[in-house]
Amino acid sequence: MLLLHGFPETGLMWHRVAPLLAGAFTLVVADLPGYGRSSCPRDSDHHASMSKREMAATLTDAMGIAGYERFAIVGHDRGGRVAYRAALDHPARISHVVVLDMVPTYDVWDRADARLALAYWPFSLLAQPAPLPERLMAAAPDAVVDNAIAEWGSSPDAFLTWLREAYIDALRDPARVHAICEEYRAAAGIDREIDRADLDANRRIICPLLALWSDRGGLARWYDDAGGPLGLWRRWADDVQGQSVSGGHFFPEEDPATTARLIRAFLESEGCRQKRTERDADPRPG
């Protein structure tokens, strides 16, 4: 199982969840390209080097090098965007996908309004042209982390001092700050275009998908007209299940036991095992 984090975190976000899953699964915890201790891709036209397509390809290749040809992928926030892109682009490699507190990038922007702009400012601010967002974030990395912790519905008590400091330190590197902004620029542009092309071509996620979201955040309120988060995900995937989880955006830190229990139950469910067996036996490519 590959575990991927979101903004403004690193792979350390799994420090409470991973031990609860380690007895049942082999875990790989990665920092997203450009985040934490991962290398920063070179800039490219249209911010393509930080697109979710490129990030998913990099991480899928890395898993293959490590000896894992087929694996489950779990992503929170930005990591969830990489996770579902991996499931779309590499269907033979991904057995299950779990997305935590996020919906597809195309749908976020297609339905964006003042609520998104005010509640989750990174979507619009960090997507602005360089160097403005880089200078702002690098000037006050502690304010960036503290705002996310305080304003996105989670209890600050869930973040130990050493963890908060680690997230702040990760934003002190100008190269990583730039890479993160490039990732948000990609989400506002090329990622939306790739998503729209998939919708137009009716390309779908064929592996089972679990969506979990905060019962305090925007996902629990903003998308009722589309059937909520599950309604949005069913536009993209054939086999979707999920539910809200008590807590804020960072509910894996707030309630690791529930998060781990729901992920494990999903991967070990009879329906998922049956679908995996059928696909493994199918000789068709992909």
Kindly report whether the peptide bond that precedes residue 131 is cis, defined as omega within 30 degrees of 0.
yes
Q: List all residues 6 or more positions away from 17 whose beta carbon is below 8 Å from its beta carbon.
A: 3, 252, 256, 259, 260, 263
Rounded to whole angstroms, the maximal C-alpha distance in the chain is 54
Q: Are 62 and 73 in contact (CB under 8 A)?
A: no
Give the full edge-to-edge strand order of the sheet including 209-214.
28-30, 2-4, 71-76, 94-100, 209-214, 240-245
Catalytic residue among 77, 107, 198, 255: 77
Reported as half-sphere exposure (CB side, CA atoms, 13 A), residue 122 has a value of: 22
Three-state DSSP class for residue 97: strand
> 270-278: long-range contacts at Cβ-Cβ below 8 A with a sequence spacing of 24 or more?
271/208, 271/239, 272/96, 272/208, 275/207, 275/208, 275/239, 276/95, 276/96, 276/207
In degrees rounded to 5, what are phi and psi of residue 258? Answer: -65, -45
Q: Give the tokens for residue 47.
A: 């911010």
Picking from 77, 94, 100, the residue whose alpha carbon sits closest to that of residue 183 is 77
Cα separation, 254 vs 282, in Å, equals 40
Cα separation, 93 vs 18, in Å, equals 22
Catalytic residue among 5, 76, 90, 249: 249
Q: Would you call 280 a catalytic residue per the annotation? A: no
DSSP 177-195: HHHHHHHHHHHHTHHHHHH
Q: Active-site residue numbers?
A: 77, 249
